[in-house]
A = this chain, B = another copy of it.
Amino acid sequence: MTVTLEHIQQASERLYGVAIRTPLLRSAHLNTRLGGKVFIKPECFQHIGAFKFRGAYNRLSQIEESCKKAGVVAFSSGNHAQGIAYAAQLLGMPATIVMPTDAPEIKKEGTKNLCATIRYYNRFTESREDIAADIAAKTGAILVPAFEDVDIIAGQGTCALEILQQLDEEKLSIDHLLSPVGGGGLLAGSSTTVKSMSSSTKVYGVEQENFEDHYLSKQAGKRVAVDGTKATLCDALMATTPGELTWSINSRNVDDYLVVSEDAVAHAISYAFRYLKIVVEPGGAVALAALLQGKLDITGSSAAIIVSGGNIDRETFESCLNKHPSP
C-alpha cells in the first residue's frame, strides 16, 4: 500500500472548489536575506487555519452514504481535529474529537465552534488511541487517523501539487522544497508529488529539537522513537516516531531532514510577523526557521517552504514577538 501521484490528483479533484487554493507568497526582504528565491505556501489561510483540512476532506468525502450517520472519530492536538470537524460539518456527519486537555485554547475553541463533540484526555495518564477505539466501537463511527492513511496522505499531497502548478503558471521551478514533519503525512504527500513531477527538486523534512525522530530514523536506517516528554512550542509536531506508512514513503522520497531549535521557531514566528505579515503557529514555522538559521544554504537557488498552519494562542504569539523584537 502506498500513495501515488494519481491518488493526489484525484484528491485535488475532490478538493476543487471546496478547499482554499492558498496563494504562493514571496518577499523581497527574505530573498535578500537568504541570497536565494523563496516561495511561501501559507496553509495558515486554508480552512481551519492549517493544511489538515485537505486530507480530512479527501478522506471523509469518500465515506459511503450508509456510514455517514455514525460519523467519524479522531484524535489530535488540534489541527487534524479541526480539519475533521469542518469536513464532517460540510458533509453532514457527526464528529467526535479526542483532544488533550493542554491543547492550545485556539484549537479547542476552533474545534468546538465547528460543532464537534470533544472528549478531553490527559496526555500523561490516558491513551487517546484507547479512548478513540472505544468511541468507535460503541458508536460505529469511523476512526480517521491523522496520517497513517492513504487518503489522508493523498489529500495533504495536494498542497505541493498546488505549489508546482502555481510555479508552472509562471514558468518557474524550485531546487528545494521544505516541509514541516510531525507524523509525516504532509511530507509523504508532498514528497510523492515533488518526486513524481519535478524529480530534480530536493525534498527536506524539518523538525524541532527533541522531536527529531525522522532525522534519527534516517541515520539509523529504520524507524526510531524519541522520548517525547520534553516541552515544545510545536504542539502540532509532537509525534514521537514516524508513521509506518508515512515512513515507507518518506524513507524513499525525502533527501534529508533538518532540525531547528525552539528559539529558532520563536524567531521565525517573529520574522513572519515583522516581514511577511502572516500569522504562523510554531509547528508551521519550522521550515522558515530552517532557512533563517542557515540549516540549508539556498544562495543562488530557489526553495518553496510550506507554512503549515497559523493556529497560535495570543499569549504564545506575543511571547515569541517579545523574545525576538528585531528578527
Question: What residues make up the interface of A, taking CB atoms closer than 8 Å to B?
Answer: 20, 23, 25-26, 28, 42, 44-45, 47, 49, 86, 106, 273-280, 310, 314, 317-318, 321-322, 325
Contact = CB atoms under 8 A, between A and B. Distances in A.
B321 A44 contact: no
A277 B47 contact: no
A239 to B, nearest CB: 24
Contacts of A322: 314
For the complex of A and B, 7 pairs with smallest distance between CB atoms: A23-B23, A277-B310, A44-B277, A277-B279, A314-B321, A318-B318, A273-B279
Chain A interface mostly: helix
16 contacts: A23-B25, A28-B47, A42-B277, A45-B277, A49-B275, A273-B279, A273-B314, A273-B317, A277-B278, A277-B279, A277-B280, A279-B279, A314-B321, A317-B321, A318-B318, A318-B321
Identify the interface centre among A86, A106, A280, A325: most chain B CB within 10 Å of its CB: A325
A300 B275 CA distance: 36
B274 A106 contact: yes
A61 B322 CA distance: 39
A320 to B, nearest CB: 10
B325 A314 contact: yes
A96 B310 CA distance: 38
Contacts of A49: 275, 277
Given A20-B26, A25-B45, A45-B277, 4 more contacts: A23-B23, A49-B275, A273-B314, A277-B310
A45 B27 CA distance: 8
Nearest to A49: B277
A70 to B, nearest CB: 26
Contacts of A26: 20
